Each structure stands twice: as C-alpha cells, then as structure tokens.
C-alpha cells in the first residue's frame, strides 16, 4: 500500500551538462539526472504537477504525494534542457521567468542565456506553466510595499501579454519574503507564491516552501528531501543564518 507523503516543491535553475569546475555549476542539473529524479519520484508513488496545480490541491486538501518541479529565472536550453527533458519523460513543471532579463545573458553566468518571449510561448504550448519572478530580480524585502507590488504586478502583466493567458503564480527572488512582501504579491494579482531553501509555510499560499536541487544531487539526497524532518532543519537558527549569508553573497556577486 502506498504511504501518503506531504507535498514537495523542488527548486531548480538551469538544465544542462555543466562541469563542476565552471562558475555557478551548482545552479545546473544534468538532463540525465533530472530524468532519473523524475523516474524515481514516480516509482515512489508521487504525482508530478505544476506549482499552480499543487497550490489548488493544497486548498482542497488533496496535495498528498504531489511534487512540483520549478525552474527559476528562465535559463534557455542549449540542446537538451527543460523542454526536451520534460517532453521526453511526459512530466510537467513551472518556469519562473524574470521578464526584464528575457533574451539577455544570465547575470551570474554570461555564457548562459535567458529565454526569449517566443521560447516562453513554446514552453506554454507544451503544457509547462509559466510563472513570474519579477521584472529585475531584486530582493523584494528591501523595497517598500508599493515597489514590491509594482515589481510583481508589472511582471505578471508583461508575461500575460506574451502568453495571452493568465499568470497566477510567482517565486520570490532569492526566496526572500516578509509579511509585507507576501501582501504585495497577493495584491499584485497572484494566487500562489513560493520561497526557497525550505523557508516558508504550507499554511500560507503566498509563502510555500521549496527545496533546492543542484548539480550532482543524488537519488539519496532526493529521498531525504521527501522527508518532512529534512525541511525542519531549515528552521534551525544556525542553518537559517548560514543560508542567509550564502544568499547575500550570491546576490552581491551578481
């Protein structure tokens, strides 16, 4: 008999074969590893859904065993990547795009590129959900309520114009969000939003937690991420402090 598991949201960035010695290699996952992770999640009895669908399942109390694969920034595929891997496996997911970066080099790794508007439309036609990741990728917690709402609302409206469809989900840059940030997100017209690094709460649709997956992640680490006790580690003050320092370093070295 299948044992029900709590829902899980996994946080990726790029999908590509990137050598571990390259800068920001940890932000990429190899296509072969993503396929293996999808296969294993299904073998464990999980249902792969979009982030928006997982939010709806949470509201109806039917989110057990659901897993959402999410990809931040909208890094373009070079050969095998998000689109081809999800198509090949018959899986779905959610790409959170930074509108102001479309078609430009990824700030952290200029050799990587952000998707164009047409590439986002191709993802949407393939059944992959497109969500908003702001216009300029700021730390929203450093902005006023009005500024944070503007970043989120403008990104939603711009993406909806590209897709000619509603955009109802968002991800906070760096995973940072306060109560004021979450209020701005709600008022910007979204239904669900997520954090990063295990931060957040399943009780708030604008504070949903995600667990990161990077280059070299093993199936054993994936098994651990399924355990609710694993996410509990992120609530420990030393762990939260260390993560904040790491995220600040990543933000400042952009």
Strand partners, 114: 75
**Token pair for 153:** 């609302």
Q: List strand residue ranges (DSSP E) for the chain, in order.
A: 8-12, 14-15, 28-29, 47-49, 66-73, 94-97, 105-106, 109-113, 129-132, 169-171, 192-194, 211-212
Q: Dihedral sign for Cα 96, 100, 105, 110, please.
A: negative
Radius of gyration of the chain (CA): 17
**Token pair for 119:** 């590439």
CB 147 within 8 A of CB 134: no
What is the per-residue pLDDT for 1? 42
Q: How far apart are CA 241 and CA 196, in angstroms?
A: 14
Q: How far apart are CA 32 and CA 115, in angstroms?
A: 21
Q: How far apart are CA 69 and CA 67, in angstroms?
A: 7
What is the per-residue pLDDT for 214? 81
Residuewise pLDDT in 10s, the chain (254 residues):
457 889 999 999 999 988 777 777 788 999 999 999 999 999 999 999 999 999 999 999 999 999 999 999 999 986 678 999 999 999 999 999 999 999 999 999 888 999 999 999 999 999 999 999 999 999 999 999 999 999 999 999 999 999 999 999 999 999 999 999 999 999 999 999 999 989 999 999 999 999 999 887 777 777 777 776 665 555 555 545 545 555 555 555 54
Strand partners, 188: none
pLDDT digits (tens, 9 = 90+) for 57-74: 999 999 999 999 999 999
Span between the terminal Cα atoms of the chain, in Å: 48
CB 130 within 8 A of CB 167: yes
CB 13 within 8 A of CB 73: yes
* Burial (Cβ within 10 Å: 0-12, 13-18, ≥19) of residue 108: middle
> pTM score, two decimals?
0.89
Query: In order of start, what are the domains of the chain with their CATH numbers?
Result: 8-252 (3.20.20.370)
Strand partners, 192: 169
CB 145 within 8 A of CB 31: no
Can you state the angle between helices 82-89 and 31-43, rounded to 10 degrees?
Answer: 30
pLDDT digits (tens, 9 = 90+) for 3-48: 788 999 999 999 998 877 777 778 899 999 999 999 999 999 999 9
Nearest to 209 by CA among 241, 188, 242, 233: 233
What is the per-residue pLDDT for 81? 87
Strand partners, 212: 11
């Amino acid at each position: 008999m299948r044992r029900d598991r709590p829902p899980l949201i996994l946080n990726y960035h790029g999908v590509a074969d990137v050598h571990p010695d390259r800068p920001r290699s940890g932000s990429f996952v190899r296509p072969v590893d993503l396929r293996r992770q999808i296969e294993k999640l299904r073998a464990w009895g999980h249902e792969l859904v979009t982030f928006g669908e997982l939010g709806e399942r949470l509201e109806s109390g039917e989110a057990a065993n659901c897993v959402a694969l999410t990809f931040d920034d909208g890094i373009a595929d070079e050969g095998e990547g998000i689109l081809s891997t999800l198509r090949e496996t018959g899986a779905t997911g959610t790409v959170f795009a930074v509108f102001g970066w479309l078609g430009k080099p990824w700030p952290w790794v200029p050799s990587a590129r952000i998707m164009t508007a047409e590439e986002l439309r191709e993802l949407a036609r393939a059944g992959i959900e497109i969500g908003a990741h702001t216009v300029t990728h700021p730390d929203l917690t450093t902005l006023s309520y009005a500024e944070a709402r503007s970043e989120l609302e403008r990104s939603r409206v711009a993406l909806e114009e590209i897709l000619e469809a509603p955009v109802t989900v968002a991800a906070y840059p760096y995973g940072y969000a306060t109560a004021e940030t979450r209020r701005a997100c709600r008022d910007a017209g979204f239904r669900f939003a997520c954090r990063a690094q295990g931060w957040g709460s399943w009780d708030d649709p604008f504070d949903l937690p995600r667990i990161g997956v990077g280059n070299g992640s093993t199936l054993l680490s994936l098994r651990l991420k399924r355990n609710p006790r694993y996410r509990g580690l992120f609530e420990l003050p030393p762990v939260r402090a260390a993560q904040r320092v790491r995220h600040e370093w990543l933000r400042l070295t952009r």
